[in-house]
Amino acid sequence: MSLSPYQIIKRPIITEEAQIQATKGSQYTFCVVPDANKHQIRDAVEAIFPDVKVTRVNTMNYDGKVKRQAGSRKVGRRSKWKKAIVTLRAGDSIELI
């Protein structure tokens, strides 16, 4: 499977906890394609942001939630997704906003 870096990384996750991690330990959180492995995520981040060096990648898989439609008994499911926490070299940073 050959994906471009922009297809592997869908979007940054900007929450309060992610902002604290970014300022404290230069860790950034991204929503990525569920099929991507740690090596592909590392290469994608270094390709999109050429001035940074990735030292570590942690990933978490999330199952989609079961949801009901309003006003009926039909049950659906949200899609699965994967979260990646990328740790950068000391002194490196990414400008997300």
Count of the separate structural domains present in the chain: 1
Residue 94 lies inside a defined structural domain of this protein: no
What pLDDT, on the 0 to 100 scale, is given for residue 93?
Answer: 87
CATH code at 81? 3.30.70.330
Residue 11 lies inside a defined structural domain of this protein: yes
Its pTM stands at 0.87
Find the domain containing 19 and state its range: 5-88
Give yes or no for a contact between 3 and 40, defined as CB atoms under 8 angstroms apart: yes
Q: How far apart are CA 76 and CA 62, in angstroms?
A: 16
Residue 36 lies inside a defined structural domain of this protein: yes
pLDDT tens by residue, 56-86: 999 999 999 999 888 888 999 999 999 999 9
Cα radius of gyration rounded to whole Å, the chain: 16
